[in-house]
């Protein structure tokens, strides 16, 4: 519970308690926590908070739909480690916001969601815009509460500490109507550090070593906790020292090079059946920061023992998987302990692994004469610098990107594979650009996801920075269409239009460059990345490549 956090974390910045309005207090408090932006759509009650932000620190970023505010705050939270902050007004503002806030829950980001809450006496009565925000946010947050006027400092310190603590997630704070203008007397705390993670027990470490030593074919399965806790170097060292394969979840891409001799592929996405050949040979799985929110262990793991190195206990069907060792606590301690073992000789055929890897990537080479998603990925990879960030949406294209895209650094590829909401990619690119202004940022979205978020082109225009949005225009909700095909029954509801839509020159002031061939895409992307502002590249693609590559077996 929230009360268990110690308010002495976050010492007073300014010794003296000061009197000011709550709106002024909240904005000063957030600034001291490294919060540079609040994403949302305003309301009458929010005006006092915007007045308090007049010096632009933090800055209010107006979006077209509050869901975008939640997605941008999620990505901002990932990339900075500080809570991303978003706002929505009473009722419909809050429901829109909740779609983005769910991403912070299931994609694991520290986030503070603010809403203007109706007065307590009106909840349950029939009144314009009024619903119960506490009930609304309960299933999409780590914690939700209504702000009280007494001891505001402790309430906010606890909220930030809880948002950042393992596993990070969203906290919803309902701001009672009219609170912004009320006076409070409180001090501004300094930066609140993430709560330290305790070390795993000696007993768990020694059992882990025993299991590792006695296995013949251990497999490292790496998930998104490893990105958050910066475990990449240690994981690569272990893989190299013992010459063992590594599989990743989609959100862990970037932790090990796709050309590394120990790399076995990404779970769940394209050509997962090739990755499964490696998985099914393992006689021990060592999950490292493996968060099953992306893909449950039992969906791909052979029935062998599991060592789960993470900050939280393993979630798996314990009737089927009976030999599970949780090594809970700071994963670095467990990984360093593995590295102290003498070099061991395992039974993996690393030559065969290389052949499988090469075979997999050769199948991502575009076929001559076809301009499909594979050509888009190939050309973009040639053009995007290594420090670039690619965000993507949710659809058939995500399954391809997850496996085919070569990711040059952690957080180099951003996707929502826990919440998996269409509409994520465009806001994610804007959040990434604000968090990392020096990095080139590009988004790939399907046309269905683009339709959900087209109004955000106005947001991108206002932000004014160079972001390239590639829309894969295949006139279909292709992922669902492929699922229809698999069932042998194509029914209605997946054709977005009967023909390619006319491409406008501008979308809310953002130029749109069409591309329907390798050459036109190359020149459109070159022009787009050279621009000072946002640019849309609308790629008219043939989607037939997906059919052979995605929705394959995992076991």
**Interface residues toward ligand TPP, by CB under 6 A:** 393-397, 420-423, 446-449, 472, 474, 476-480
Q: Which does 102 bind (CB under 5 to 8 A by kind): ligand TPP, Mg ion, none?
A: none
Nearest to 166 by CA among 10, 316, 286, 329: 329
> Closer to Mg ion at the Cβ: 422 or 528?
422
The DSSP-derived string for 255-320 is SS-TTSTTEEEESSSTTHHHHHHHHTT-SEEEEES--TTSS-GGGT--SS-EEEEESS---S-TTT
| Residue 149 phi, psi (nearest 5) | -75, -20
Count of chain residues binding Mg ion (CB under 5 A):
6
* Rounded least distance, CB 216 to ligand TPP, Å: 40
DSSP 555: -
> Closer to Mg ion at the Cβ: 258 or 447?
447
Q: Which stretch binds Mg ion (CB under 5 A): 73-81, 140-148, 173-181, 448-456?
A: 448-456
* Rounded least distance, CB 421 to ligand TPP, Å: 5
* Rounded least distance, CB 105 to ligand TPP, Å: 15
Q: Does 447 bind Mg ion (CB under 5 A)?
A: yes
Q: Which stretch binds Mg ion (CB under 5 A): 4-12, 209-217, 341-349, 443-451?
A: 443-451
* Rounded least distance, CB 399 to ligand TPP, Å: 8
* Rounded least distance, CB 38 to ligand TPP, Å: 24
| Residue 494 phi, psi (nearest 5) | -125, -5
> Closer to ligand TPP at the Cβ: 60 or 419?
419
* Rounded least distance, CB 530 to ligand TPP, Å: 27
- 8 A C-beta contact, residue 16 and residue 187: yes
> Closer to ligand TPP at the Cβ: 82 or 494?
494
How far apart CA 523 and CA 527 sit, in angstroms, is 6
Q: Give all strands of the β-sheet with 246-248 in edge-to-edge order.
A: 263-266, 246-248, 218-222, 284-288, 306-310, 324-328
Q: Does 66 bind Mg ion (CB under 5 A)?
A: no
How far apart CA 211 and CA 217 sit, in angstroms, is 11
Q: Which does 421 bind (CB under 5 to 8 A by kind): ligand TPP, Mg ion, none?
A: ligand TPP
> Closer to Mg ion at the Cβ: 28 or 397?
397
How far apart CA 183 and CA 44 sit, in angstroms, is 19
Q: Does 446 bind Mg ion (CB under 5 A)?
A: yes
How far apart CA 272 and CA 14 sit, in angstroms, is 55
- 8 A C-beta contact, residue 32 and residue 188: yes
| Residue 506 phi, psi (nearest 5) | -135, 150
Q: Which does 394 bind (CB under 5 to 8 A by kind): Mg ion, ligand TPP, none?
A: ligand TPP
Q: Which does 286 bind (CB under 5 to 8 A by kind): ligand TPP, Mg ion, none?
A: none
Q: Does 107 bind Mg ion (CB under 5 A)?
A: no
**Binding Mg ion by CB under 5 A: which of 70, 474, 515, 550?**
474
| Residue 393 phi, psi (nearest 5) | -95, -155
How far apart CA 7 and CA 30 sit, in angstroms, is 16
> Closer to Mg ion at the Cβ: 66 or 474?
474
- CA 541-478-384 angle, 5° bins: 50
Indicate the residue whose CB is closest to ligand TPP.
446
Q: Which does 420 bind (CB under 5 to 8 A by kind): ligand TPP, Mg ion, none?
A: ligand TPP
Q: Which stretch binds Mg ion (CB under 5 A): 28-36, 146-154, 192-200, 467-475?
A: 467-475
> Closer to ligand TPP at the Cβ: 446 or 534?
446
H or E segment and range at residue 86: strand 84-88
How far apart CA 124 and CA 131 sit, in angstroms, is 7
Q: Which stretch binds Mg ion (CB under 5 A): 70-78, 233-241, 270-278, 470-478?
A: 470-478
| Residue 356 phi, psi (nearest 5) | -65, -40
Q: Which stretch binds Mg ion (CB under 5 A): 41-49, 332-340, 471-479, 505-513?
A: 471-479
* Rounded least distance, CB 271 to Mg ion, Å: 20
**50 in helix, strand or coil?**
helix
Structure-token match 């107006």, residue found: 62
Q: Which stretch binds Mg ion (CB under 5 A): 83-91, 138-146, 425-433, 473-481?
A: 473-481
How far apart CA 427 and CA 342 sit, in angstroms, is 47
* Rounded least distance, CB 420 to ligand TPP, Å: 5
| 71, 87, 119, 128, 248 from 90: Cα distances, Å | 19, 10, 11, 10, 40
Q: Which does 479 bind (CB under 5 to 8 A by kind): Mg ion, ligand TPP, none?
A: ligand TPP
Q: Which does 397 bind (CB under 5 to 8 A by kind): ligand TPP, Mg ion, none?
A: ligand TPP
Q: Does 478 bind Mg ion (CB under 5 A)?
A: yes
- 8 A C-beta contact, residue 129 and residue 186: no
Q: Does 545 bind Mg ion (CB under 5 A)?
A: no
Q: Under the rule (CB under 5 A), what is the footprint of Mg ion?
A: 446-448, 474, 476, 478
């Amino acid at each position: 519970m929230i009360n268990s956090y110690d308010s002495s974390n976050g010492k007073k910045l300014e010794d003296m308690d000061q009197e000011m309005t709550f709106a002024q207090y909240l904005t000063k408090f957030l600034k001291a926590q490294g919060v540079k932006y609040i994403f949302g759509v305003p309301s009458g009650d929010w005006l006092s908070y915007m007045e308090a932000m007049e010096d632009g620190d933090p800055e209010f970023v107006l979006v077209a739909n509050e869901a975008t505010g939640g997605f941008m705050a999620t990505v901002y939270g990932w990339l900075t480690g500080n809570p991303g902050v978003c706002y929505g007004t009473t009722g419909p503002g809050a429901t829109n916001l909740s779609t983005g806030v769910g991403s912070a829950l299931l994609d694991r980001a520290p986030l503070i969601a603010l809403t203007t809450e109706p007065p307590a006496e009106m909840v349950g009565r029939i009144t314009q815009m009024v619903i119960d925000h506490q009930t609304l946010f309960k299933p999409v947050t780590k914690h939700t509460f209504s702000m009280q006027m007494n001891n505001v400092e402790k309430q906010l310190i606890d909220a930030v500490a809880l948002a950042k603590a393992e596993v990070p997630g969203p906290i919803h704070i309902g701001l009672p109507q009219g609170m912004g203008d009320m006076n409070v007397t409180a001090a501004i705390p300094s930066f609140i550090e993430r709560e330290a993670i305790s070390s795993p027990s000696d007993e768990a470490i020694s059992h882990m070593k025993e299991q590792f030593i006695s296995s013949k074919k251990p497999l490292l399965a790496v998930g998104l906790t490893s990105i958050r806790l910066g475990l990449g170097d240690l994981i690569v060292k272990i893989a190299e020292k013992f010459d063992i394969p590594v599989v990743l979840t989609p959100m862990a891409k970037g932790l090990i090079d796709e050309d590394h001799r120990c790399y076995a592929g990404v779970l769940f996405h394209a050509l997962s059946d090739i990755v499964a050949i490696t998985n099914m040979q393992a006689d021990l799985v060592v999950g490292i920061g493996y968060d099953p929110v992306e893909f449950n262990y039992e969906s791909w793991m052979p029935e062998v023992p599991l060592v789960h190195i993470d900050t939280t206990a393993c979630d798996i069907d314990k009737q089927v998987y009976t030999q599970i060792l949780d090594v809970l606590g700071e994963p670095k301690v467990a990984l360093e302990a593995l590295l102290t073992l003498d070099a061991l000789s395992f039974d993996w055929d690393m030559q065969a692994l290389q052949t499988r890897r090469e075979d997999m990537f050769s199948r991502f080479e575009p076929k001559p004469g076809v301009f499909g998603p594979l050509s888009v990925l190939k050309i973009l990879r040639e053009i995007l610098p290594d420090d670039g960030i690619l965000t993507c949406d949710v659809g058939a294209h995500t399954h391809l990107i997850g496996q085919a895209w070569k990711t040059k650094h952690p957080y180099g590829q951003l996707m929502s594979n826990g919440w998996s909401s269409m509409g994520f990619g465009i806001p994610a690119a804007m959040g990434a650009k604000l968090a990392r202004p020096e990095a080139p940022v590009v988004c790939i979205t399907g046309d269905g996801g683009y339709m959900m978020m087209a109004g955000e082109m106005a947001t991108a225009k206002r932000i004014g920075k160079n972001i390239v949005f590639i829309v894969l225009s295949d006139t279909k909700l292709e992922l669902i269409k492929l699922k229809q095909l698999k069932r042998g029954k194509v029914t209605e509801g997946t054709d977005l239009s009967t023909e390619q839509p006319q491409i406008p020159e501008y979308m809310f002031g953002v130029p749109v460059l069409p591309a329907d061939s390798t050459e036109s895409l190359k020149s459109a992307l070159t022009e787009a990345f050279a621009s000072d502002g946002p640019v849309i590249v609308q790629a008219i693609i043939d989607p037939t490549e997906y059919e052979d590559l995605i929705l394959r077996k995992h076991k």
